[in-house]
Structure 1
Amino acid sequence: MTSAAELPADVLALGVTGSTGGLGGMVARQLAELGSAQRLLVRDPARAPVLDGATPAVCSYEDSAAARQALDGVKVLFMVSASETQDRVQQHTAFVDAAAGAGVQHVVYTSLYGAAPDATFTLARDHYATEEHIRASGMDFTFLRDNFYLDFLPLLAGEDGVIRGPAGDGIFSGVAREDIARCAVAVLRDPAIHKGATYSLTGPEELTLAQAAGIITESTGRTITYQPETVEEAYASRASYGAPPWQVDAWVSTYTAIASGEMAGISPDVHGLTGEDPISLREFLSRPVL
């Protein structure tokens, strides 16, 4: 395990979590391309990306002692939300406390669009609870509230090419993970001017799932359709997976959040942070996989 004493001084200022995953990996690579030194906080150092100016340090969100050691000297922290688990808020809370104890000054946290204590999407409530704990920690913060990822839309379809869920004719304003990464890098490069800010990150368009299915069909050649379900049908159709109740609630409320209008609205924040328009679903599907 790498200790803070073994790291060059210029690596200590910026810590990045999630670098072995999609979003965190994009952020780490972009920072390296810009010449920013960074500490990559990872569970397995063998999986850490090899990047110029990047040094891995081992910790997990739930291991407070290891996290505090890995964060020693870090002043600005990019915190990607943990994988979906029943105790995710507890993991986040432990990590935020470790960050505050280690002397981190500013946390940039990837939250969720519409995060609120009474949000329809159950996981948005978890993000709100994490935001509130960060606010209470005494550290400076910036929250990136991401709409649903465009990257995951094609994966909603089953093997038969049908997206099923109780979204009705509701609309959402999905955002490409690539745009979220660019926004995160913009904040991390100059965090002081984003102190206390909450950004809503959306794509450039509002779509129903039926419209999204049509665009995926046109762009990929795979026939994708949307079949509305009632809430009761949604729970019944997912019962065979054997998932725990909290997970099924999250799956179903992904769609009911769209139906309720809570994922609608187009924000100017991607352009405001990056100077570029966000990527549309059609543009995303035409791009090479990063």
Structure 2
Amino acid sequence: MADTPIAVTGCTGRLGGRIARRLAAQGVSQRLIVRDAKRAPSLPGAEVHVATYRNRDALARALEGVRTALFVSAKEAPTRLEEHFAFIETAAAVGVETLVYTSFYGAAPNATFTFARDHWATEQRLREQRFSSVMLRDNLYLDFLPMMAGEDGVLRGPAEHGRVAAVAQDDIADVATAVLLNPREHRGRTYSLTGPESLTLDEVAAVLSRKLGRPIRYRAESIEEAYRSRARYGAEQWQVDAWVSTYTAIAAGELADVTTDVERVAGHAPMSLETLPLT
């Protein structure tokens, strides 16, 4: 058990909330850093601190005396890197020793998935600071795959016949919890977190059809078709680019490789799409 509180960001979200609940179950003292105190989970041993990544004064107070912090990546936005850099600089200034960062699988400056480039830039800034860091490079969320199908039961995008080794959020949470409980053992490590198999979207559709009891199919789009089919949402260009590049990253083979990092760190095999509970 940690002798100082573990700071947890993103606890109002699906992944950060899972991690916070796991830490609470272990009896760990936490500081939950949130934008809105009303949305913070009520957990034993947890204090709630209101701060944004760019509110350096409030963030510094929330992190004061903390040795280890979970750094959940900020909401996707054009200002995301500014927020990340502000958080990192504040954490370094108040003496945080280890940051556990939720990055993305295959983060690189030339990654096909546009947001993976932001994650790479964040990792680089983390490495420039004096504290240790642990990178959790999560593949596409397994939990997200059922939501990729439209109301018509069609999963459409320019993924061609590429494969994705998607990982369950529960498995990511188990890894993150293990790291946060024993940060010294993991400092400086980068873990690429995947599920146990790599599936084409045709195979994803077949599994979902069986599990949901209704027909789901995959239709490969051209890149031009993908932009046209998403134009109806009225999203900004950077957001549409990200949506489309999720699929083109699959087509490019950048999300295909399976690793054993979940089992190595969490101590159990990761869930597959077949075994993932669907609600």
SS at match of 1:185: helix
CA contact (8 A) 1:170 1:259 kept: yes
Contact 2:5–2:28 (CA<8 Å) still a contact in 1?
A: no
**Cα distance in structure 1, aligned partners of 2:195 and 2:160:** 20
- Percent identity of paired positions between Structure 1 and Structure 2: 53
State the match for 1:39 in structure 2.
31
**In structure 2, C-alpha distance between the alignment counterparts of 1:139 and 1:98, rounded to whole Å:** 12
User: Does the aligned pair in 2 maintain the 1:205–1:266 contact within 8 Å?
Assistant: yes
Instruction: Please identify, of 64-73 and 196-205, the stretch whose mean Cα deviation from structure 2 is larger.
Output: 64-73
Shift of 1:193: 0.8
Correspondence for 2:202 = 210
Query: Which digits, 9 at most, give the CA deviation of each residue in 1:224-277, with x for residues without a partner?
Result: 111000111111111121111110100000000000000011101000001100
In structure 2, the residue matched to 1:244 is 236
Structure 1: give runs of 5+ residues left out of the alignment.
1-9
Secondary structure at 1:109 match in 2: strand
- Give 1:12 shift: 4.3
The correspondence for 1:23, drawn from 11, 15, 19, is 15
Aligned residue pairs, count: 278
Q: Alignment partner of 2:271: what SS?
A: coil
Q: Distance in 1 between matches of 2:249 and 2:148?
A: 15
CA contact 1:11–1:53 (8 Å) conserved in 2: no
Structure 1: 4+ residue segments shifted above 2 A: 10-13
The 8 Å contact of residues 12 and 39 in structure 1, kept in 2 or not, is answered as no
2:189 alignment counterpart? 197
Aligned residues of 1:11 and 1:54 also touching (Cα < 8 A): no
The counterpart of 1:153, out of the listed 145, 149, 152, is 145
How far residue 11 of structure 1 moved from its aligned partner, in angstroms, is: 7.6
Q: Distance in 1 between matches of 2:237 and 2:38?
A: 34
Partners in 1 of 2:123 and 2:237 — Cα distance?
Answer: 24
Structure 1 residues 110-125: aligned runs within 5 Å: 110-125=102-117
> CA separation in 1, counterparts of 2:20 and 2:172?
13
Name 2:91's counterpart in structure 1: 99
* Equivalent runs, 1:34-113 vs 2, <5 Å: 34-113=26-105
CA distance in 1 between counterparts of 2:122 and 2:111 reads 14
The unaligned stretches of length 5 or more in structure 2 are: none
Per-residue displacement from partner, 1:17-41 (whole Å, max 9, x unpaired)? 1111100101010011111111111
CA 1:11/1:158 → structure 2, altered by over 3 Å: closer, same or farther?
A: farther
Quote the residue 2:260 is aligned against: 268
Cα displacement (A) at 1:117: 0.3
Correspondence 1:167 to 2:159: yes
TM-score by length of 1: 0.94
The alpha carbon displacement at 1:94 in A equals 0.7
C-alpha displacement of 1:74: 1.0
Q: Is this contact kept in 2: 1:172–1:264, CA < 8 A?
A: yes
Q: CA-atom RMSD, angstroms?
A: 1.1
Report the Cα distance in structure 1 between the residues aligned to 2:187 and 2:4, rounded to whole angstroms.
20
Please state whether the residue corresponding to 1:281 is helix, strand or coil. coil
SS at match of 2:163: coil
CA distance in 2 between counterparts of 1:221 and 1:84 reads: 33
- Among 122, 128, 132, the alignment partner of 1:130 is 122
Tell me the alpha carbon deviations over residues 146-195 of structure 1, each in whole angstroms, 9 at most, x when there is no partner. 00001111111111011110000000100000000000000001000101
Provide the TM-score with structure 2 as the length reference: 0.97
